[in-house]
Structure 1
Amino acid sequence: MDIKHSEMILEVAIVGAGFTGLGAGIQLKRAGITNFRIFEQAAALGGVWRDNRYPGLCCDIPSHLYSYSFAPNPGWSRRYAPGREIWAYQQRCHEQFGMGSFISYGMEVVAATYDEQAALWVLDFRSGEQARARYLISMSRGLSLPQYPKIEGIESFAGAAMHTACWDDNYDFRGKHVAVIGNGASGIQAIPQLAKVAASVTVFQRTPSWVLPRKDRAYSALRKVLFRWLPGAQRLHRLQLFLTQELIYPALKNPGGIMHKALTWLATTHLNRTIGDPVLRQKLTPNFAVGCKRVLVSDDYYPSFLLPHVSLQTTAITGATENEVICADGTRHRADVLVYSTGFKNIGDMPFAITGKHGKTLAQVWGQEPAAYLGVVTAGFPNLFTVLGPNSAFGHQSALFVIERHVNYIVRCIRHAGRKDWRSMDVRGDVQHDYNEMMQQRFKGMVWSGSCPVWFKNEGGRIVTNTPDSGFGFWRRLMRPNFDEFVVEQTRDERPTSGARYARAASE
């Protein structure tokens, strides 16, 4: 990091240059706030779309919906874009909005501490450098930290091993015996591709998932030209996709209603039409309601089990040897390589310590029951904004939709605080408490309530990740901040340097 930046006080510090950090930076700049810096630990932007490279990687939300509304891409190749194309889209946004001078690469944040006396966030980097900022924006990040299962004897395994989120591009799967542990969103994309080259693929399934047909298709050249020259047509297509995704919400809201029955019929029909073997079909049939866990989409996952060299194991793994995976029924399965498709850690798991008022860390305050107001601000952590925080994930809408709603809310807060010369703003504890209790009440009767075995519940059964809102409801809730809900402190003498000064320094 340039020494000029370490000596000055930023208006805003942003951690990470994925969709969240990039979007926050673009919207701040568009709002006229240029005294900000995005700190990225890697050597390139992109976040999960930079890091994830497993075969078959693509988005499970339609491409025209999985993009910024202010930066439409008329050239998406397919209804569901592959991962490298999404990464390329991020790079185009970076260039289009001139974000190059605002990103510092190779800057890994190891701690962020709120200085109560100065009302500033102090960021410590692994390099030993520091930065100070009035406001801090960070993704909660728990959902980007890979989760690994505990397997007895795994240290003796002599073959290769990789998580789908940490893929080894140099490993040659041709002719190998592949053991895939888990069948989540990444697994159902990678398994069909691995089956094309491997000698055998053994899928170790703990719990089956409901899978809907993806119905993926390429966009025609004519359609792409139409979107390019008639932007209104593309916006209309995006709205149609949003409304289609929104149709899933009534099924989640009312598991006994007609929309849930329709969704169940679609999922079971997709399974029954593909898998004729009743034994295999039973193994792939979940014992919980559709929508209880994340509904996946795929056209080629079920057909991969019809191949003679692909098998499904549903008995729990009890151990591993040098070249085998051992199951509870005593069976041993040869493996040259282990592929973990076991998801990510919970939202409460933070990649670095964030310490707020009175020396309390965010991890301590959230504990087993992460709670924030609107998923964005947490009492006791002034001027801290988290994107995709507690109770803000959807079971049916795009994560980019959430990111934009959160970022727009944050930018409005920062602009208003600047106009009022506020030194700090901290959401009131009673507001946060009442909001989160209301959220939990609204979950009652939804498909996730009761005994639904979802990972986004804590040990006490409290839903801590998803929101009970529809897309429209979430949009309305985040539309305009209510500043009566904050405890504010007026500005003293020490203030952030001007945006003009920072803009000059950043370009040098």
Structure 2
Amino acid sequence: MAHSVVIIGSGFGGIGMAIRLREAGVHDVVVLEKAGGLGGTWRDNTYPGAACDVPSHLYSFSFERKTDWTRRFPPQPEILDYLWHCARKYGVLDKIRFGTEVTEARFDEDAALWRVSTTTGELDARVLVSACGQLNRPALPPIEGRESFAGTSFHSSRWDHGTDLRGKRVALVGTGASAIQIVPEIAKEAAELRLFQRSAPYVIDKPDRPYRAWEKAVLRTVPGAYALSRARIYAMFESRALGFVKYPKLMGLMEKGFRKHLEEQVADPALRGQLVPGYRMGCKRILLSDTYYPALGRPNVDLITDPIERVTPSGIATAREHYDVDVIVYATGFQSTDFLSPMKIVGRDGRELNEAWRDGAQAHLGITVSGFPNLFLLYGPYTNLGHNSIIYMLESQFRYVLGCVEALRRHGLDWIDVKPDVQDAFTREMRERMRATVWEAGCQSWYMTEDGKVVNNWPGFTFAYRNATRRPDPRHFTVRRATAR
């Protein structure tokens, strides 16, 4: 017996999609999760200082408001607790099969089913939803000798909590979003911290603080207070899209704020000079922190800007010096443009998704892929953001997928498949619009494929995406009715 919907992944996308399907009356849903617990990136990233850079009230589902967040920017444990709460409250926890990794999904056109192979067995689905996210597979740098290191080494998203860093000589490779949260924490206990920087990030003020008891009381008891807070934050963040996607020159205003922040927090002119990026603000992810720059000024912290040449059994070598260390932490990001890897996805006529995406990932509205009927992606290509909450984008996608699932049921369809010309037109539009954005201002970022295509980000306002995904357009799809078998 085939399941109505099988969802891969139990992060915000998978849990939210399962909840929305249940509320729509679709109860035969299975969520496949390779790990032993739900949460996606918020389960995996347990490094010291892990937190979100989107305010709490916006980094949560609109249908499940939480008025007792402890801080304006939520810490990792609290976000993970929130996801567990949502899964329990809305009755989807028992839909999750933990410890079940998908290895292959193959579309059986005759039966109009997805045949899904996992590490624990086989199952069939009428509809397959990928909620794997973009930031789930760690990227380790191809540095010579990396495997030769005799000490402890690990990626930031696979933090080794059994390693005590107190009094240790620690090397941290990378200065991205994870690193700026890690540095202030481990600088407090490590004897020496060597931070290896390839390119300086833009780091701006993070107005974080605990919520006061009276603020929580107002949010809990005053009608409209929470909605107003959420709307205010949304409008403030959404306005930044003008600089990212419409008028990149406006980023100059934010850059002035960055320079002011840097000057206030870093007194040493030489160190300050090393922390000024050599690319336009916004081209790479803008980071938020009030503790990163002060941590770099500590006497036990050393910022190293010379390129790493190799890793040795005892440490890290640049062209000019060798640094003996006890622990190496790689805060080097994720394989963000390989959306469904390492799964093998096979659609109509035996076509593999990796082959279909050899020139870069493509999906109409970031959700449907031509030649792969009844397959829907959450947080797929062209749906990441540089300025607002991805939860807002996910909720737009939930509604679109629900519309497709309802169309299958209402019209007695075996499958729907987005037309190739529709997908091609969307991809051309995205690539054309992307040229005007700050993300194509000349830097290399995790938004890009190896050949320089930005395939992760949405080049527009989030409300425009919500409007575009309000309902599926029947003219965009080819269909097969159940009577055709």
Answer whether TM exceeds 0.5 for this pair: yes
* CA drift at 1:306: 0.8
* 2:30 is equivalent to residue 30 of structure 1: no
Map of 1:237 onto structure 2: 229
* CA drift at 1:166: 0.5
1:293 maps to a residue whose letter is K
Distance 1:254 1:99 in 2: 40
In structure 2, which of residues 270, 290, 293 is the aligned counterpart of residue 299 of structure 1?
290
Map of 2:416 onto structure 1: 425
Asked whether the equivalents of residues 371 and 390 of structure 1 are also in contact (C-alpha less than 8 Å), the reply is yes
Map of 2:9 onto structure 1: 16
* 2:444 is equivalent to residue 453 of structure 1: yes
In structure 1, which of residues 166, 178, 183 is the aligned counterpart of residue 170 of structure 2?
178
Give the percent of matched residue pairs that are identical in Structure 1 and Structure 2.
38
Gap runs ≥5 in structure 1: 1-7, 495-508
Q: Provide, for residues 59-81 of structure 1, a one-character-per-residue CA deviation record: whole Å limited to 9, x for no partner.
A: 01111111001111001000011
Distance 1:38 1:480 in 2: 24
Q: Which stretch shows the higher mean deviation, 356-365 or 334-343?
A: 356-365
In structure 1, which of residues 53, 62, 66 is the aligned counterpart of residue 46 of structure 2?
53
Gap runs ≥5 in structure 2: none
Distance 2:7 2:176 in 1: 30
Distance 2:461 2:36 in 1: 37
**Structure 1 segments of 4 or more deviating over 3 A?**
254-257
* CA drift at 1:140: 4.9
Distance 2:93 2:483 in 1: 32
Helix, strand or coil at the partner of 1:144: coil
Helix, strand or coil at the partner of 1:64: coil
* CA drift at 1:215: 1.3
1:381 maps to a residue whose letter is F
Distance 1:248 1:141 in 2: 23
Residues paired across the two proteins, number = 484
Distance 2:246 2:31 in 1: 41
* CA drift at 1:38: 0.8
Map of 2:428 onto structure 1: 437
* CA drift at 1:443: 1.7
1:204 maps to a residue whose letter is F
Distance 1:453 1:51 in 2: 25
Asked whether the equivalents of residues 11 and 131 of structure 2 are also in contact (C-alpha less than 8 Å), the reply is no
Helix, strand or coil at the partner of 2:440: coil
Matches within 5 A, 1:168-317: 168-255=160-247, 257=249, 259-317=250-308
Map of 1:325 onto structure 2: 316
Q: Provide, for residues 243-280 of structure 1, a one-character-per-residue CA deviation record: whole Å limited to 9, x for no partner.
A: 111121111134554x4222111111111111122221
Distance 1:141 1:295 in 2: 20
* 2:355 is equivalent to residue 371 of structure 1: no
Map of 2:138 onto structure 1: 146
Map of 2:392 onto structure 1: 401
With over 3 angstroms needed to count, the CA separation of the structure-2 counterparts of 1:289 and 1:450, relative to structure 1, is: closer
TM-score (norm. length: structure 2): 0.97
Give the root-mean-square deviation of aligned CA atoms: 1.4
Distance 1:289 1:400 in 2: 27
Distance 1:147 1:380 in 2: 29
Asked whether the equivalents of residues 142 and 351 of structure 1 are also in contact (C-alpha less than 8 Å), the reply is no
Distance 2:135 2:51 in 1: 17
Map of 1:505 onto structure 2: none
1:196 maps to a residue whose letter is K
Q: Which stretch shows the higher mean deviation, 287-296 or 229-238?
A: 229-238
In structure 2, which of residues 82, 90, 93 is the aligned counterpart of residue 89 of structure 1?
82
Map of 1:504 onto structure 2: none
With over 3 angstroms needed to count, the CA separation of the structure-2 counterparts of 1:53 and 1:459, relative to structure 1, is: closer
TM-score (norm. length: structure 1): 0.93
Distance 1:13 1:462 in 2: 31
Map of 1:103 onto structure 2: 96
Helix, strand or coil at the partner of 2:399: helix
In structure 2, which of residues 333, 336, 351 is the aligned counterpart of residue 343 of structure 1?
333
Helix, strand or coil at the partner of 1:165: helix
Map of 1:501 onto structure 2: none
Q: Which stretch shows the higher mean deviation, 246-255 or 421-430?
A: 246-255
